[in-house]
Chains A and B, each alone.
Chain A
Amino acid sequence: MSAGFRAIQWNAHKRFYDALVLVGILIYLAGFSLLAPRLLPSDHPVTPEIVRTRALGSCGLLMLTLILAIGPLARLDRRFLPLLYNRRHFGVLTCLIGLAHAWSAIDWYHGQGRLPPLVSLLVGNANYNSFLGFPFELLGVAALVILIVMAVTSHDFWLTFLTPPVWKAIHMAVYAAFGLLVLHVALGVMQAERSPIVPILLGGAVLLLGLLHSQAARRERAVDDKAAAADTTGWLLVGTIEDLRMSLPDGQARIVVPQRGERIAVFRNGQTLSAITNVCAHQNGPLGEGRIIDGCVTCPWHGFQFRPEDGCAPAPFTDKIATYRLKCEAGSVLVDPRPLPPGTRVEPLALGAARG
């Protein structure tokens, strides 16, 4: 939440997670180097430098695939949320692995010629009119540039400086990077080797991500299709008081879906109810899937906090979200789907007093 600069935001959980990822990377690299000669038989001599380059490259692509799977996995099953909290560190490590792969490839394939290595990389293959002979190296370079920009701007300082919409737009380029990398492999090593393992793994990664994201999107659509019933004045039913008292745990929310507009999160805070938008001001995270901690609704994605009664972040932060009016009629709690301006205070509805 802070705009103040700290190099990297680490805590005990993140250190443990980063250590785990590093160990995983080392195990993968060692395993690939040992097993690749047997699993990926080649028709030409494969030197240790080539194995090193392929180990780093495949590791980077695997990490990027996992990163892109974390979002839908967290939407499909809340147990994957801890992975979401640590996704940026994973992304920076992926960029570092990509840089190591680039260094290894340039050093081996372009380091001994008359041209400087980087010049050789950029001009060595000019078959732009050929599909299979296309300079696949440049596809990898383009993907790496995207990953570097994302890694450099990954800190919350840049999120605040660039504003969330711009930052989010920049980081959506990760999908372009993934596409470029798939083509980089398809036109590179897949053309040089006969082994079916490369196209199987590559196609599997694309298929896996497509299925996961589609499944998550389908589930969200099903929720959108179940819009809440409205009364004659357009207010939406949240539930009966008895139902909310019995089945809505303290500090958690019931999400109301209007016909149009954003979802509304009705939070129980002790014996009162407050309604806020379900969309976090930070990165549109689902506030209603979070809970109230220290009197503030806490977003499950990145921990941004807002007071349930007025939608304001606690001092010194200045973020605000929309609030909604609640009322009680005939034993039922209703919410007005028209959002109030962000930061508008609404008196919480007392569950005890609201007996209809």
Chain B
Amino acid sequence: MRRRHRRWHRRFWLILPGVIGLVLVAALVLRPVAPTGSGPLMSGSVR
């Protein structure tokens, strides 16, 4: 691996899990407390 790639790689692996983790936590925290039976896999044009 080139020196500049190693530097880029260090930053990338701090940012990527951070961003994904934040969205993941948001999706977890914001989800309805009780199951509605009308979640994304149960609604709209789907069954």
Residues of chain A at the chain B interface (Cβ within 8 Å): 43-44, 108-110, 112-113, 115, 120, 123-125, 131-133, 136, 175, 179, 182-183, 186-194, 199, 202-203, 206-207, 209-210, 213-214, 217-218, 220-221, 224, 260-263, 279, 284-286
Is A199 touching B24 in the complex (CB atoms < 8 A)? Answer: yes
Q: List 17 A-B contacts (CB under 8 A).
A: A113-B45, A115-B45, A179-B20, A183-B27, A187-B40, A190-B31, A191-B27, A193-B39, A202-B24, A206-B17, A206-B24, A207-B21, A210-B14, A210-B16, A214-B14, A284-B1, A284-B2
Contact residue among B18, B40, B47 (Cβ-Cβ distance under 8 Å from A191) = B40
Task: Give Cα distance in the complex from A294 to B19, angstroms.
Answer: 47
Nearest B residue (CB) for A120: B45
Encode contact with A along B8-47: 1 for CB under 8 Å, 0 otherwise.
0110111011111101101110111001010111101111
In the complex, what residue of chain A is closest to B28 when comparing beta carbons?
A199
| Contact yes or no, A279 B24, CB < 8 A | no
Is A286 a contact of B44 with CB atoms below 8 Å? Answer: no
The reply to whether A110 and B42 form a contact with Cβ atoms under 8 Å apart is no
Q: Kindly provide the distance from the CB of A175 to the nearest chain B CB, expressed in whole angstroms.
A: 6
Specify which of A136, A213, A260, A263 lies most central, judged by the most chain B CB atoms within 10 Å of its CB: A213
Q: Is the CB of A192 within 8 A of B41?
A: yes
CB distance from A142 to the nearest CB of B (A): 15
Given A187-B40, A192-B39, is A217 in contact with B13 using a C-beta cutoff of 8 Å? yes
Cα of A220 to Cα of B6 in the assembled complex, Å: 7
Question: What CA separation (Å) do A28 and B45 show in the bound complex?
Answer: 31
- Cα separation A272 to B45 with both chains bound (whole Å): 72
The residue of chain B having its C-beta at the shortest distance from the C-beta of A277 within the complex is: B2
Output the nearest chain B residue to A136 by Cβ-Cβ distance. Answer: B40
Q: Tell me which residues across on chain B come within 8 A of A188, comparing CB atoms.
A: 40-41
Q: Which of these, A108, A203, A224, contacts B21 with CB under 8 Å?
A: A203
Question: B47 → chain A, closest Cβ, in Å?
Answer: 6
Task: Say whether B20 contacts A182, CB under 8 Å.
Answer: yes
Complex contact B41–A175 (CB within 8 A): no
The 7 closest A-B pairs by CB, nearest first: A210-B17, A124-B45, A192-B39, A213-B13, A109-B46, A186-B27, A217-B10
Q: Which residues of B contact A131 (CB under 8 A)?
A: 26-27, 30
- Assess the B41–A109 pair: CB atoms within 8 A: yes
A187 nearest in chain B by CB position:
B27
B16 proximity list for chain A (CB < 8 A): 175, 179, 210
Which chain A residues lie closer than 8 Å to B12 at the CB level?
Answer: 175
What residues of chain A lie closer than 8 Å to B27, measured between beta carbons? Answer: 131-132, 183, 186-187, 190-191
B31 to chain A, nearest CB (A): 5
Contact across chains for A224 and B3 when beta carbons are under 8 A apart: yes
> How far in angstroms is the closest Cβ of chain B from A154?
20
What is the chain A residue whose CB lies nearest that of B39?
Answer: A192
A192 vs B43: C-alpha distance when bound (angstroms): 10
Report whether A206 and B20 are in contact in the complex, using a CB–CB cutoff of 8 Å.
yes
- Residues of chain B lying within 8 A (CB to CB) of residue A120: 45
CB distance from B43 to the nearest CB of A (A): 8
Give the chain A neighbours of B2 by CB distance below 8 A. 262, 279, 284
Q: Are B42 and A286 in contact (CB under 8 A)?
A: no
Residues of B within 8 A of A206 (CB): 17, 20-21, 24
